[in-house]
């Protein structure tokens, strides 16, 4: 599974991040007057979920890439930094959109979602690494039996 993700990271990691980030930017650029009124959940939950998904994809991208080893080793820190800063940018950006506003509590929801999404992605990465290590150990045991 790890090998597949690494080999096909453009398809499984980079493309979903880019597409999601474009959709997120477009969605936050729309006036609230053009959005449907009855939200199933609150605005803060929407912010939390949006940034949870964004940070999940950013975490996987930084972890899967091979070009910048510092980003790869410290993916948790860099994901949080990138997504927190984007949240600030997004809140400021929304202050220029009719019907939207720049709210500190929206950014807090963004930051909370970023932390949760990064933790979920990190748990997935740890799980993948354990599966790979277990498979490697099994292969080594089988090879020593021969």
Alpha-carbon span 62 to 4, nearest angstrom: 16
More confident position, 141 or 16: 16
Q: Can you tell me which residue has the tokens 């597409």?
A: 19
DSSP 146: -
Tell me what pLDDT residue 145 has: 64
Using DSSP, state whether 100 is helix, strand or coil: coil
- Flag whether pLDDT at 7 surpasses 90: no
pLDDT digits 0-9 by tens, 64-121: 888 999 999 999 999 999 999 999 999 999 999 988 889 999 999 999 999 999 999 9
């Amino acid at each position: 599974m790890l090998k597949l993700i690494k080999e096909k990271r453009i398809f499984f990691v980079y493309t979903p991040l880019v597409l999601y980030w474009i959709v997120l930017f477009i969605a936050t650029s729309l006036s609230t007057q053009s959005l449907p009124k009855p939200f199933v959940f609150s605005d803060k939950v929407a912010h939390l979920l949006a940034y949870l998904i964004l940070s999940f994809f950013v975490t996987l991208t930084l972890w899967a890439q091979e070009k910048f080893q510092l980003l790869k080793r410290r993916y948790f820190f860099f994901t949080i930094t990138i997504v927190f800063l984007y949240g600030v940018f997004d809140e400021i950006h929304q202050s220029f959109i009719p019907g939207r506003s720049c709210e500190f509590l929206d950014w807090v929801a963004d930051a909370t979602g970023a932390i949760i999404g990064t933790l979920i992605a990190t748990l997935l990465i740890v799980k993948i690494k354990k599966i790979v290590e277990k498979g490697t150990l099994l292969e080594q045991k089988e090879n020593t039996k021969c």
